[in-house]
Amino acid sequence: MKITTLFVAITSLVLALTVGNLVVADSHAESAKPSESLATDVNTTQVSTQTGGVETPENVIGDPQQTADPAPEKLDQASIVPQSDEDKAKGVEVWGNIYKVLSHPRCVNCHVEDDRPRWSGKQYGKTQLHGMYVHATATRVGMPGQQMCSTCHAKTNSDVPHGPPGAEVWALAPPEMVWWGKSSDELCAIVKDPAKTGGRDITAFADHIGHDPLVAWGWEPGIGREPAPFSADETVAMLEQWLALGLPCPE
């Protein structure tokens, strides 16, 4: 009699632990998924698995980005200044055109601090929060298991007016990359501050513009939407020119 009770107790304990583990593993899998679309998170994960969490001098100094992308050393942007007044004036002018791209509705609608994508630009009439109660949440891709961006945003644009636009990935930019509502001088300081660019220097920033499918969407936004000005290649060239002129910001 006693042994049976003990047996039952142990069996239920084992069962409870197994179920508990399954639940934990499951919710982990779910929460890990959305963040995989953000390169920064992926890089961080790679670093910790590769080093096993042990901090040798190399990984302390080593830059997480370099593990996945053997990029050259980061620019020391604080020390880059125009070499002449002429360079400064020309550089500020070049920045003005870069600002036209970065502050365009096709870009800033996703680069917001809160978790509400914006509907702004000519085709929307007035600027508004994304309809249908869309919240990106901390995942930046919607509520896990409920309404995700990909529920509506496919990998290509809808060909129906006011249908959901689409790209390879569709996510709200991380909250530190806030461009919405920023003036030219504010945004200039932001793109030069690695704390607000996910650690990217201007070279890596330009590279993202040249290669990211989501950025490319800004120039192929689908029916009814006006594309961002210039082109991705021209924007990359402007960023290179701005760098060569000492990265001046308007005052």
Site string for ligand HEC, 37-76 (x = CB under 6 A): -xxx------------------------------------
C-beta nearest to ligand HEC: residue: 218
DSSP letters spanning 138-161: TTTSBSTTS-BHHHH--SS--SST
Q: Which residue has the tokens 């698995």?
A: 49
CA dihedral 92, 105, 197, 142 (to 10 degrees): 180
Which region among 1-9, 63-71, 89-97, 171-179 touches ligand HEC (by CB under 6 A)?
171-179
Q: Which residue has the tokens 């890990």?
A: 32
Q: How far is the CB of 84 from ligand HEC (least distance, A)?
A: 28
Q: What single DSSP character describes residue 82?
A: -
Q: Check residue 121 and give left, alpha or beta (phi > 0: left; psi -120 to 50: alpha).
A: left
Q: How far is the CB of 86 from ligand HEC (least distance, A)?
A: 28
Return d(Cα 136, Cα 132) in angstroms, integer. 12
Which one of residues 171, 187, 236, 243 is an interface residue with ligand HEC (CB under 6 A)? 171
Interaction site with ligand HEC (CB under 6 A):
38-40, 101-102, 105-107, 109-111, 117, 119, 121, 130, 132, 134, 136, 141-142, 147, 149, 151-153, 162-165, 170-174, 177, 197-198, 200, 205, 208-209, 214-215, 218, 225, 228
